[in-house]
């Protein structure tokens, strides 16, 4: 089938939660992640990030650094990293060692995106940390500590990250509010906004980040990446049908229900309560769903609206073959070759 579309010159990347589908299991989810990453590397995506969540039946990427390593091993040129590691759950030294190890093995290809939320419920927080004495407001100090471990160690520095010291692993600040924007600006770090699920403060956060940005050793000018749910198929109708898996997961979580990623259901939006439909509309405000020409228009409009330097797309599609097809169609919209995309984002 032929499509008439313009080309997207902005780098595109992938955020993967390694979705566990109904009828599947974590092993298959992780194998699907590795398979998608291999294809994404060949298709020209700039980077491939995995997200840390815990005690969620539908997400297999809890041991994020482990999965990052498997994806990096299976790919050749694409950057690989976390989107993100939740620092509230970890000692900074542990993360510095984990990502220092990855950077030592896969030189020049590892990113460390960090967030301050725990990515789970209170009981699981306690199970992760053994105590809730820590405070998410320690996040700025944790980021500074991470940066310290990645620098060349001072002669009298007793505690070092080995591997990690001197590797200067790129750190990204992730967020969905003004807090992360302000911190990223103050530290001169790249900023990734989670607009794919929490778009409310997107434009204000981008403005704050750009206005307050202070150049740093890592970055000399602001760099904004925005999240976007993108479901592409050969027709608009098929893409909307595939998206209903994502819609079901969203609504069920708001109802306090947990489970694997459900198969698509025709007309799901017509089956939910009005307040749930309103929540869906807000959550989907930064998304592109349809055939390639539809998706291209929506991605291009989003880039124009935000001025984003990069777009990170995600798509929890139940059928793995359909998921591959979606990312392949989006890759076909990129207007420059893979190396130019990746060079622009480094």
Bond into 84 cis (ω within 30): yes
- What is the pLDDT, as a whole number, of residue 123? 74
Say if 58 falls within a structural domain: yes
How far from chain centre, in Å, is Cα 155? 37
- CA distances for 324 relative to 75, 264, 265, 266, angstroms: 16, 16, 20, 21
The residues, ordered by sequence, that sit 6+ positions from 73 with a Cβ below 8 Å of its Cβ are 106
Tell me, what CATH number does 158's domain have? Answer: 3.20.20.30
The terminus-to-terminus CA distance of the chain in angstroms comes to 34
Say if 5 falls within a structural domain: no
For the segment 77-104, the average pLDDT, to the nearest whole number, is 95
Q: What is the DSSP letter of 201?
A: T
Q: Please state, in angstroms and rounded to a whole number, the distance separating the CA atoms of residues 246 and 315.
A: 8
**Cβ distance 272 to 251 under 8 Å?**
yes
Helix axes 236-254, 274-283, angle to 10 degrees: 110
CB-count burial class (<10 Å; 0-12, 13-18, 19+) for 76: exposed
Say if 231 falls within a structural domain: yes
Of 130, 131, 112, 127, the C-alpha closest to 52 is: 112
Q: Which two tokens stand for residue 117?
A: 């939320």
Q: Please state, in angstroms and rounded to a whole number, the distance separating the CA atoms of residues 109 and 164.
A: 14
Length of the chain: 346
- 210 versus 126: the higher-pLDDT residue is 210
Residue 153 has pLDDT above 70, yes or no: yes
- What is the pLDDT, as a whole number, of residue 1? 41
The residues, ordered by sequence, that sit 6+ positions from 46 with a Cβ below 8 Å of its Cβ are 11, 12, 13, 78, 79, 310, 341, 342, 344, 345
Cα dihedral across residues 141, 166, 310, 47: positive or negative: negative
Say if 169 falls within a structural domain: yes
Say if 86 falls within a structural domain: yes
Residue 304 has pLDDT above 60, yes or no: yes
Say if 97 falls within a structural domain: yes
- What is the pLDDT, as a whole number, of residue 2? 41
Say if 3 falls within a structural domain: no
Q: pLDDT for 163-193, tens place per residue?
A: 999 999 999 999 999 999 999 999 999 999 9
Range of the domain at 275: 12-345
- What is the pLDDT, as a whole number, of residue 129? 67
Q: pLDDT for 315-346, tens place per residue?
A: 999 999 999 999 999 999 986 444 555 555 56
DSSP H/E element including 229: strand 224-232
**Cβ distance 192 to 133 under 8 Å?**
no
Say if 7 falls within a structural domain: no
**Cβ distance 221 to 209 under 8 Å?**
no
Q: Please state, in angstroms and rounded to a whole number, the distance separating the CA atoms of residues 32 and 319.
A: 10
Domain count for the chain, please give it. Answer: 1
């Amino acid at each position: 089938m032929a499509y008439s579309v313009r080309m997207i010159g902005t780098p595109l990347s992938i955020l993967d939660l390694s979705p566990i589908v109904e009828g599947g299991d974590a092993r298959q989810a992780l194998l699907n992640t590795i398979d998608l990453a291999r294809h994404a590397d060949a298709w020209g995506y700039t980077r491939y990030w995995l997200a840390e969540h815990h005690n969620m039946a539908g997400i297999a990427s809890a041991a994020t650094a482990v999965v990052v390593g498997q994806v990096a091993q299976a790919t050749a040129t694409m950057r690989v990293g976390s989107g993100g590691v939740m620092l509230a759950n970890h000692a900074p030294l542990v993360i510095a060692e984990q990502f220092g190890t990855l950077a030592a093995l896969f030189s020049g290809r590892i990113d460390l995106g960090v967030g301050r939320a725990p990515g789970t419920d209170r009981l699981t927080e306690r199970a992760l940390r053994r105590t809730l004495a820590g405070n998410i407001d320690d996040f700025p100090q944790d980021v500074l500590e991470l940066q310290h471990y990645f620098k060349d160690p001072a002669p009298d520095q007793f505690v070092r990250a080995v591997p990690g010291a001197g590797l200067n692993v790129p750190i990204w600040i992730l967020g969905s509010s003004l807090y992360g924007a302000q911190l990223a600006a103050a530290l001169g770090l790249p900023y990734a906004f989670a607009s794919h699920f929490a778009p409310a403060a997107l434009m204000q956060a981008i403005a704050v980040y750009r206005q307050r940005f202070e150049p740093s050793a890592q970055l000399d000018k602001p760099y904004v990446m925005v999240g976007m749910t993108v479901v592409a198929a050969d027709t608009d109708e098929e893409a909307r049908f595939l998206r209903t898996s994502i819609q079901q997961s969203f609504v069920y979580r708001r109802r306090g229900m947990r489970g694997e990623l459900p198969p698509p259901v025709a007309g799901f939006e017509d089956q939910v309560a009005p307040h749930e439909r309103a929540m869906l509309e807000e959550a989907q405000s930064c998304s592109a769903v349809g055939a390639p020409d539809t998706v291209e228009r929506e991605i291009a409009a989003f880039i124009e609206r935000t001025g984003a330097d990069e777009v990170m797309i995600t798509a929890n599609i139940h059928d793995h073959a359909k998921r591959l097809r979606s990312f392949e169609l989006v890759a076909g919209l990129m207007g420059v070759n893979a190396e130019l995309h990746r060079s622009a984002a480094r």
